[in-house]
Amino acid sequence: MNTKDLINHLTEDIIKLYDIKIPITDIDAVVEKLGGKVVNTSELQHKMENCYIKKHKDAFVILVDDRVKNSPNRTMLIARELGYLFLSMGYQTNRKLWNEWTDDTVYKRNYAFRTEDVKKEWMAYDFALALMMPEDEYRKIANQYSEGNQIKTRKIAEYFHVNLTAACLRGEKLGIIQSVI
């Protein structure tokens, strides 16, 4: 199974297991269902990222910069952190890996842009796309907002409560939307 299919299956399983309603209208409530907590903070104002995740005992905390509290990108930032949580930290998927993380240690990204680091970044973002816009639901909504060969991606973004870039990228990755040059 390739990485894309693995991520799609994992997010589908999480959605079913935790009875997450699609579209996700409250990402903070989803985080709580998963056993975590979202904390808005001003402590990240001088950090490279607007959002970080850290292990806290057998749970987790997602720290979100106050400056993005009302941003349309907030949902995708938090969903991406959930990607790191499940894929890179092993939360509820790999007990050995999860136990290697020290309590209250923030998941650090490596910005050396080595191939493996870039792959982890894209995997986390692909997880976010798949969680927020599951394939079957995306196809259904894309069909609903299609006229001929035109797809109203803005309507898709509004339906899923994500930004336009995320809605377009998910459509591209599913082969529904052709990339725009």
Q: Cα separation of 102 and 54, whole Å?
A: 9
Supply 130's token pair: 């798949």
**Is 49 a domain residue?**
yes
pLDDT of residue 176: 93
CA 93 to chain centre: 16
Task: Give me 172's structure tokens.
Answer: 């591209």
Number of residues in the chain: 181
Residue 181 belongs to a domain: no
Q: Any idea what the Cα angle at residue 98 is, between residues 8 and 134, rounded to 5°?
A: 15
Per-residue DSSP letter, 24: -
pLDDT of residue 148: 82
According to the model, what pLDDT value does residue 12 have?
Answer: 98
**What is the full per-residue pLDDT of the chain (181 aa) written as tens digits?**
799 899 999 999 999 999 999 999 999 999 999 999 999 988 876 666 788 999 999 999 999 998 888 887 899 999 999 999 999 999 999 999 999 999 988 887 665 566 777 888 899 999 999 999 999 999 999 999 998 888 999 999 999 999 999 999 999 999 998 865 4
pTM of the model: 0.92
Per-residue pLDDT tens over the stretch 88-121: 999 999 999 999 999 988 887 665 566 777 888 8
Print the domain residue range for 71: 3-173
Number of domains in the chain: 1
Q: Tell whether 130 is covered by a domain.
A: yes
Say if 179 falls within a structural domain.
Answer: no
Residue 178 covered by a domain:
no
